[in-house]
């Protein structure tokens, strides 16, 4: 075959000449035809490029003065104490819950930017909880009501203040004249001035009735206390004097009672340098709480059995004392601890040692039951406490202190039912919701519909609530930081509240509105003068103060706390007859449900606060939701798993809710947190989570939320919970106990430590390819005592507020993009049924040989001569190599500009810009960020040291997390100062670094956790 016989196409074979011509011509006819761009139709590519270039040229030339740097607008008349750039601090009171902690508000140029505890407050001692820290966001919440509103059909119209007030006062007067009732619904009133105000109001309008309730209150404990001690207010427990603590489904470290005070007291007894007074916490509980996390001995037990357990313990205590007669003995004689242990598969030795501890530590041992546990359990606990001398008045170190701080007692169940009845029959003419949200809180009374029967209902509120939307009028009120107030927080302490900013939207404080009704005139200063009157008439005369009132008043406001001259009232004696109120009832139901307080949203009031919703739950690390906690076995039995829905049936009501499998939960037991599922709470908080209050009855508000339920599983219905950690199964051999194997968590027992047998694993590598750098002067470092950290999350929020950390929303959290600079890692080890838990706050370790620094291609992260791993945002290009190379995974990347209107979780609003800390850069999209050791505070300390003409010292700086920690677990300072506290902890026998074997030389020292295990014989 010759070469010519190869052809490419049939044409080539048939017409070789034509084909040859076509081959020589590269372009087909018409393709290379010249053309004029101007003749092209429409916007061609060339035209487009020409236009773009022209636009660019014109805009550059026509640009306005590029030198212009804006304006500096000084004060016209500068307020005396304000120096731009220097913060001012004002003492006030937090009104987030009825604990009323003293706070110190940091303001810059007249706007509050950070809240901390007031160090002068003898109760919370300079610390506040996560909610208090985050409440600053509520002040600047762009969704606050700004104008009074009047209902018009299903809508609300804005009206003028005067108009709203005139209508209100005419309606109130009319009701009073007609003799129909004016109902005011208030929360837990602890303020002497509020009490006087309500009294005055009742005097002026005689048909007024005050209703008071508190969803967070410990009603069952109050009732039990009344039965045992004859006073409606339970005594305050001083955990700093408790050596043995028995917590029965009680979350006293997490969200019950004054937990800030409890944490401080509890951790005072967890000092590794004072092993003799180290406390021992027994936690008996059905689901993992912070008490269980921090317990030395955790005994999982279904809460329905707790009453029997306590009665058996009482029997054992009596037996150990040889008491065989008397009222208590008769009641408990049929109970036996050994029998109880056998029935419930508990370790009898453990229970015996518990009883031994309780008996041997007479006067320093105490039992406490959960706020929402039944009345009878509280009675039994009171009796037990009486027997073990927890109520003794003898010593200086009383465990219980008498408390009579309530100004207006909370309404009884009957009183609330009477309210319902009166609302139903239309006997109430005017209903005033005094910053309360009964439509949500008391939804068991069907309050929503009842409100429709009220001819004139008005809600005083800051933001949208269910109650506001069902009332006729909404009157917006001042936030905490815009208001005056005084609060009695204990028998002898009153804290004062003063505004630190003019009300942002010209609103009135709620007391001003009531005062306006009394005085026939609305005034913004009325309540301030009213409080002063209260103090002139009630407190100043008793003060024996040598100065005139104005001076006295100013000094009280300055301090924020005032100590009354009252003598200490001893605790009343206990009435053991109360034990007869216990009627043993055995629950026959398969499943038990218990409702708990929420860790982050209180009673749902803080639902529109993204910082709080995004706070990882202390035990599950879930954000933006609540869920039903179950054990793995129960989940398997129901055929569900985490992120699957179940339907709960209780009291004839239904709730669909996702399930979360939590290690340490007892079988057939469910817990759900309250304060979620608000139907109206603003863009952020609306319909976040599930409203478990739907399942309850009004009885349960007063007798605890422990109920029998029916469960039906919905294994096909998925609901994604957003968690900030990957949950490894405790049964997986690869990941099981990894934290311990790699010495991330190191713990031992107290007795081993005392005998000198316990030292944390250290690896002292010396060889490194990176040369050693010598640090002269201060070198910043941190020590975290894991014996003290209870995992309360206060540090996380404090860091968020201090460092302008954005809220990113559930969707982004689910993608693992959470922005928190400090996180509390919770490690579970051991057995799925009763795991051992340890908390570890994890933040940038500021390694001397930081692996992140070596890999940054643009040198955006470097090391400072004082040992801080610096992050320069304007240099960062967002390669994320640093995060990849960080062994601690503490670097955070801005995947978006999270301040933009992002899924409505963080509204971009002018008011929120006021909240930002001006000393910290607000990061934008595409940059990496991480803990800076509060470099702005370091710089501030340097500046003031220079002003004083000295070198900066390690003790000059307190980081935001350290300042906030109620347990004082965090120490910060210079590791080059041998006399400092930081140096002591850094070189402590129990100190270790996490992942030390990597030889990155971290600068955060962790103090190994000691568990005070009982010696079981």
What does DSSP say about strands 155-158 and 149-152: parallel, antiparallel, or unpaired? antiparallel
User: What's the closest the beta carbon of residue 88 comes to another protein, in angstroms?
Assistant: 12
Nearest to 239 by CA among 691, 790, 623: 790
Supply 973's token pair: 């300072």
> What are the strands, taking DSSP E only, across 584-699?
591-596, 622-623, 628-630, 644-650, 653-661, 669-673
Residues that bind another protein in the complex, under the rule CB under 8 A:
34, 67-78, 83-86, 862-865, 868, 870, 872-875, 919-921, 932, 935-936, 938-939, 942-943, 946-947, 949
Place of tokens 């003028």: 160
Name the residue nearer to another protein (CB basis): 173 or 863: 863
| Shortest Å, Cβ 35 to another protein | 9
Under 8 Å between Cβ of 643 and 661? no
What does 236-261 look like in DSSP terms, one character per residue?
EE-GGG-SEEEEES--TTTTSSSHHH
Structure tokens at 229: 């001690």
Kindly give the pairing relationship between strand 473-476 and strand 485-488. Answer: unpaired
Among 255, 95, 101, smallest CA distance to 599 is for: 255
In angstroms, give the least distance from the CB of 983 to another protein: 22
Alpha-carbon distance 1004 to 1001, whole Å?
Answer: 9
Least Å distance between CB 859 and another protein?
A: 9
Report residue 659: phi and psi, to 5°.
-105, 145
Q: Identify which of 453, 298, 188 has the alpha carbon closest to the alpha carbon of residue 835.
A: 298
Question: Whose CA is closest to 834, among 436, 319, 282, 383?
Answer: 282
Query: Cβ 65 to another protein, closest distance in Å?
Result: 8
Question: What DSSP character marks residue 330?
Answer: H
Give me the residue label for tokens 């030889």.
999
Nearer of residues 3 and 73 to another protein, judged by Cβ: 73
What are phi and psi for residue 970, nearest 5 degrees? -105, 130
Class of residue 951 by CB neighbours under 10 A (exposed 0-12, middle 13-18, buried 19+): exposed
- With H, G, I as helix, E, B as strand and everything else as coil, classify residue 107: strand
Q: Which CB, 70 or 652, lies closer to another protein? A: 70
Q: Minimum distance between the CB of residue 34 and another protein, rounded to whole angstroms?
A: 4
CA 2 to chain CA centroid, Å, is 90
Alpha helices in 205-347, H assignment, sequence order: 219-229, 259-268, 290-293, 306-321, 327-332, 337-343
Q: Is the CB of residue 385 less than 8 Å from the CB of residue 314?
A: no
Tell which residue, 390, 389, 436, 380, has the closest CA to residue 411: 436
* Alpha-carbon distances, residue 594 vs 505, 630, 699 (angstroms): 41, 11, 14
């Amino acid at each position: 075959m010759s070469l010519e016989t190869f052809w490419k196409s049939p044409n080539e074979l048939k017409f070789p000449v034509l084909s040859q011509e076509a081959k020589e011509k590269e372009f087909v006819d018409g393709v290379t035809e010249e053309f004029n761009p101007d003749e092209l139709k429409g916007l061609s590519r060339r035209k487009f490029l020409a236009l773009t270039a022209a636009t660019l040229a014109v805009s550059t030339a026509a640009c306005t003065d590029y030198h212009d740097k804006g304006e500096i607008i000084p004060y016209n008349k500068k307020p005396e104490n304000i120096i731009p750039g220097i913060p001012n601090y004002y003492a006030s009171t937090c009104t987030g819950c009825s604990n009323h902690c003293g706070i110190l508000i940091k303001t810059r140029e007249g706007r509050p930017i950070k809240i901390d505890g007031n160090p002068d407050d003898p109760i919370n001692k300079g610390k506040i909880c996560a909610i208090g820290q985050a409440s600053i966001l509520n002040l600047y919440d762009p969704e606050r009501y700004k104008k009074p509103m009047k209902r018009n059909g299903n809508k609300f119209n804005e009206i003028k203040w005067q108009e709203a007030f005139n209508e209100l006062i005419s309606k109130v007067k009319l009701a009073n004249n007609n003799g129909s009732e004016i109902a005011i619904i208030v929360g837990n009133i602890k303020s002497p001035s509020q009490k006087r105000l309500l009294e005055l109001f009742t005097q002026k309008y005689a048909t007024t009735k005050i209703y008071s309730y508190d969803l967070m209150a410990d009603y069952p404990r109050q009732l039990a206390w009344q039965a045992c001690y004859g006073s409606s207010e339970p005594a305050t427990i001083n955990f700093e004097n408790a050596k043995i603590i028995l917590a029965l489904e009680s979350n006293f470290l997490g969200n019950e009672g004054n937990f800030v005070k409890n944490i401080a007291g509890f951790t005072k007894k967890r000092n590794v340098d004072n092993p003799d007074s180290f406390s021992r916490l027994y936690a008996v509980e059905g689901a993992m709480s912070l008490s269980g996390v921090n317990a030395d001995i955790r005994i999982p037990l279904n809460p329905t059995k707790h009453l029997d357990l306590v009665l058996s313990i009482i029997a054992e205590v009596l037996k150990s004392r040889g008491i065989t007669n008397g009222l208590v003995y008769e009641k408990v004689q049929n109970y036996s601890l050994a029998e109880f242990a056998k029935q419930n598969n508990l370790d009898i030795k453990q229970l015996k040692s518990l009883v031994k501890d309780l008996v041997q530590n007479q006067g320093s041992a105490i039992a406490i039951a959960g706020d929402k546990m039944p009345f009878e359990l509280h009675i039994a606990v009171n009796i037990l406490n009486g027997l073990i001398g927890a109520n003794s008045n003898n010593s200086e170190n009383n465990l219980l202190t008498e408390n009579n701080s309530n100004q207006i007692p909370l309404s009884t169940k009957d009183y609330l039912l009477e309210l319902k009845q009166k609302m139903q029959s239309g006997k109430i003419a005017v209903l005033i919701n005094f910053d309360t949200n009964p439509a949500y809180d008391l939804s068991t009374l069907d309050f929503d519909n009842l409100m429709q029967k009220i001819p004139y209902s008005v809600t005083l509120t800051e933001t949208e609530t269910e109650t506001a939307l069902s009332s006729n009028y909404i009157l917006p009120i001042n936030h905490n930081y815009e208001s005056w107030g005084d609060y009695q927080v204990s028998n002898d302490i009153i804290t004062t509240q003063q505004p630190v900013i003019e009300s942002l939207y010209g609103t009135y404080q709620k007391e001003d509105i009531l005062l306006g009704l009394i005085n026939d005139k609305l005034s913004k200063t009325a309540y301030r003068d009213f409080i002063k009157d209260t103090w002139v008439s009630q407190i100043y005369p008793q003060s024996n103060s040598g100065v005139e009132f104005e001076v006295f008043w100013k000094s009280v406001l300055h301090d924020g706390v005032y100590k009354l001259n009252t003598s200490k009232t001893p605790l009343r004696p206990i009435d053991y007859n109360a034990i007869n109120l216990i009627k043993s009832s055995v629950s026959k139901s398969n499943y038990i449900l218990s409702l708990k307080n929420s860790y982050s949203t209180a009673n749902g009031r803080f639902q529109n606060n993204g910082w709080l919703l995004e706070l990882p739950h202390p035990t599950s690390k879930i954000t933006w939701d609540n869920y039903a906690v179950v054990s793995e076995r129960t989940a398997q039995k129901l055929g569900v798993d985490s992120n699957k829905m179940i339907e709960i049936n209780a009291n004839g009501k239904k709730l669909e809710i996702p399930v979360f499998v939590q290690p340490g939960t007892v079988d057939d037991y469910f817990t759900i947190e309250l304060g979620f599922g608000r139907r109206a709470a603003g863009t952020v908080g609306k319909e976040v989570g599930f409203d478990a209050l739907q399942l309850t009855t009004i009885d349960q508000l007063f007798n605890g939320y422990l109920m029998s339920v029916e469960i039906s599983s919905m294994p096909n219905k998925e609901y994604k919970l957003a968690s900030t950690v990957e949950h490894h199964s405790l049964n997986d051999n690869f990941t099981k106990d990894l934290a311990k194997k790699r010495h991330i968590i190191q713990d031992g027992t107290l007795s081993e430590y005392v005998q000198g047998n316990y030292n944390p694993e250290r690896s002292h590598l010396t060889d490194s390819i990176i040369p050693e750098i010598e640090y002269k002067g201060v070198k910043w470092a941190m020590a975290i005592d894991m014996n003290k950290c209870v995992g309360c999350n206060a540090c996380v929020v404090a860091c968020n507020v201090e460092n302008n950390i954005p809220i990113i929303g559930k969707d982004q959290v689910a993608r693992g993009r959470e922005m928190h600079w400090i996180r509390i890692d919770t490690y579970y080890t051991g057995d799925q049924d009763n795991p051992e838990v340890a908390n570890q706050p994890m933040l940038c370790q500021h390694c001397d040989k930081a692996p992140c620094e070596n890999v940054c291609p643009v040198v955006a992260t470097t090391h400072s001569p004082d040992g801080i791993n610096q992050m320069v945002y304007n240099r960062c290009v967002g390669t994320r190599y640093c995060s990849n190379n960080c062994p601690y995974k503490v670097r955070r990347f801005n995947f978006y500009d999270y301040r933009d209107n992002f899924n409505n979780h963080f509204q971009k609003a002018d008011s929120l810009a006021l909240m930002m800390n001006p000393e910290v850069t607000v990061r934008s999209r595409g940059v990496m960020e991480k803990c800076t050791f509060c470099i702005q505070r370091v710089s501030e300390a340097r500046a003031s040291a220079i002003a004083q003409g000295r070198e900066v010292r390690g003790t000059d700086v307190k980081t935001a997390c350290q300042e906030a920690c109620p347990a004082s677990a965090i120490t910060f300072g210079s590791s080059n100062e041998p006399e400092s506290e930081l140096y002591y902890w850094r070189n402590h026998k129990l100190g270790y670094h996490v992942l030390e074997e990597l030889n990155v030389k971290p600068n955060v020292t962790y103090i190994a956790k000691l568990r005070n295990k009982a010696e079981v014989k």
